[in-house]
């Protein structure tokens, strides 16, 4: 299990919560990982169990069923889930959509949806990416035309995490002019007439989490389901990018730590020419390099988390974290698989799944190239 003894900025309450999370994962996650992988979707039962255990959206206020804690608790859950390589879409809800709703939603919307998001009865998705759009949210084509007390929504979304499971879509739509000022956010219930789910996309990795297409055909959405003000959706989405990218960084770091731990375990048990593989200089040097990168990664994350809590984490710092941890994960997981030799290419070993699942980190939440663009603007 992940060693947190060298971490900084966590108090006794955080560590007690971490132990609670680990017990929950051992009971409600690890026994089902192979089933979710085979089914290519996480069960709704997991979401309800996480909600019942008080592990979802812990930073939400108590009046909506949350615990009113700092975001560190949600980040701890993210870290521990990805250490066991459970690619469930919890962070999307706890770190992105619920904060959107809390910060920008009306009292009516918060009262209607937040308690269910905290309990796991409501699973959310973020409908941002479109075919051909990628990270360019300003050019989205899904439209919402005002018709009396409703918006009429038409368009499609692609690569949507929780798309098959979701009960509620935080949907980026165009309500006005071209560019960022014409983008708004609508809350669309999944049982709305005209809403359709597409196929569960066949991915290289992250098989245990659904990723789908969503279609909107003359979907009527009450104007009261507008999140905040019309034309402010792009600004709202950008406001939570730091927290989102820190969450992705933590996921990547946890997977890198697990890959390292698996490699150490394997090379100490595996023998070649009558000697444990660990005794070969190349093995020890490779592990030393991995260990140094991991130590630097944990130090950066603990620093960045404290900046986030203080409200001083810049977009460039969050992008640097996402870039560094994504690229470092790929370096470490590939080296760890190489140390496994032929065994690493076999699906029965955890490193094989880690290797497949790791590749997406250099793409989702903004590609490594986009992160470099963000960072370079301030140089």
**Annotated active-site positions, please?**
244
The CA distance from 354 to 371, in Å, is 23
- 74 CB-contact burial (10 Å; exposed 0-12 / middle 13-18 / buried 19+): buried
Rg of the Cα atoms in the chain: 21
**Which tokens go with 281?**
């200089």
- Residues comprising the chain, all counted: 379
Indicate the angle between helix axes 315-340 and 281-310, nearest 10 degrees. Answer: 160
140, 112 in Cβ contact below 8 A? Answer: no
Apex CA 44: angle with CA 38 and CA 46, to 5°? 85
Closest of 272, 239, 273, 290 to residue 341, by C-alpha: 272
The CA distance from 292 to 270, in Å, is 23
162, 212 in Cβ contact below 8 A? Answer: no
E strands, 162-210, in order: 168-174, 183-189, 195-200
The CA distance from 279 to 370, in Å, is 41
Indicate the angle between helix axes 350-358 and 241-269, nearest 10 degrees. Answer: 150
51, 118 in Cβ contact below 8 A? Answer: yes
Closest of 379, 289, 371 to residue 325, by C-alpha: 371
Contacts (Cβ under 8 Å, ≥6 apart) of 317: 242, 304, 307
Backbone φ and ψ of 291, nearest 5°: -60, -40
96, 244 in Cβ contact below 8 A? Answer: yes
């Amino acid at each position: 299990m992940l060693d947190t003894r060298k971490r900084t900025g966590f108090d006794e309450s955080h560590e007690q919560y971490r132990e609670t999370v680990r017990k929950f994962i051992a009971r409600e996650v690890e026994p089902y990982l192979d089933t979710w992988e085979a089914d290519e979707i996480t069960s709704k039962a997991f979401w309800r169990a996480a909600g019942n255990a008080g592990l979802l959206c812990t930073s939400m206020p108590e009046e909506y069923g949350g615990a009113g804690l700092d975001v560190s608790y949600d980040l701890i859950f993210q870290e521990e889930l990805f250490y066991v390589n459970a690619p469930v879409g919890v962070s999307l809800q706890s770190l992105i959509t619920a904060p959107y709703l809390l910060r920008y939603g009306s009292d009516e919307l918060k009262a209607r949806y937040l308690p269910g998001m905290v309990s796991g009865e409501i699973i959310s998705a973020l409908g941002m990416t479109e075919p051909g759009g990628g990270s360019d949210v300003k050019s989205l084509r899904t439209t919402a035309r005002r018709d009396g007390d409703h918006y009429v929504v038409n368009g499609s979304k692609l690569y949507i995490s929780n798309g098959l499971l979701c009960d509620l879509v935080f949907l980026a739509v165009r309500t006005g002019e071209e560019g960022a000022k014409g983008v708004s956010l609508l809350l669309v219930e999944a049982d709305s007439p005209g809403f359709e789910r597409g196929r569960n996309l066949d991915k290289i990795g992250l098989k245990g989490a659904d990723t789908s297409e969503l279609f909107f055909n003359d979907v009527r959405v009450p104007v009261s389901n507008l999140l905040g003000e019309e034309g402010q959706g792009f600004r709202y989405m950008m406001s939570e990018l730091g927290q989102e990218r820190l969450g992705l960084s933590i996921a990547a770091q946890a997977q890198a730590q697990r890959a390292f731990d698996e490699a150490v375990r394997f090379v100490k048990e595996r023998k070649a020419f009558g000697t444990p593989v660990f005794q070969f200089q190349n093995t020890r040097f490779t592990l030393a390099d991995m260990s140094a990168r991991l130590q630097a990664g944990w130090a950066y994350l603990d620093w960045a988390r404290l900046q986030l809590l203080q409200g001083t984490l810049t977009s460039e710092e969050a992008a640097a974290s996402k870039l560094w941890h994504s690229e470092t994960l790929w370096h470490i997981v590939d080296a760890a698989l190489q140390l496994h030799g032929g065994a690493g290419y076999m699906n029965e070993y955890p490193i094989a799944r880690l290797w497949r699942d790791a590749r997406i980190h250099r793409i989702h939440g903004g590609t490594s190239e986009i992160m470099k663009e963000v960072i370079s603007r301030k140089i």
